Amino acid sequence: MTKTDPVFFKKVLYYINPLNLFKKENENNLNLRVMHGINKISFLMFLLCLVYLLFRWFA
């Protein structure tokens, strides 16, 4: 473990926070905003699929 581990978890928690998920960011570049939106949606889908697979495995 390194010293940057708390920073990593802090960024992940910020990224999956529902209050920050669809918040308008201060980016002027449309391509960058679309890319971040797609990344957030894909991360959310990954977490939902992970929960589904864990549920099927334990049920």
Q: What 8-state DSSP symbol labels residue 46? A: H
Higher pLDDT, 3 or 56: 56
Q: What 8-state DSSP symbol labels residue 36? A: H
Using CA atoms in the order 12, 17, 21, 22, what is the torsion angle rounded to 10 degrees?
-160
Q: Are 36 and 27 in contact (CB under 8 A)?
A: yes
What amino acid is encoded at 52 in this protein? Y
How much is the pTM? 0.58
Whole-Å CA distances, 3 to 6, 12, 16, 45, 50: 7, 16, 22, 29, 27
Tens-place pLDDT, residues 3-36: 667 777 887 777 777 777 666 667 688 888 788 8
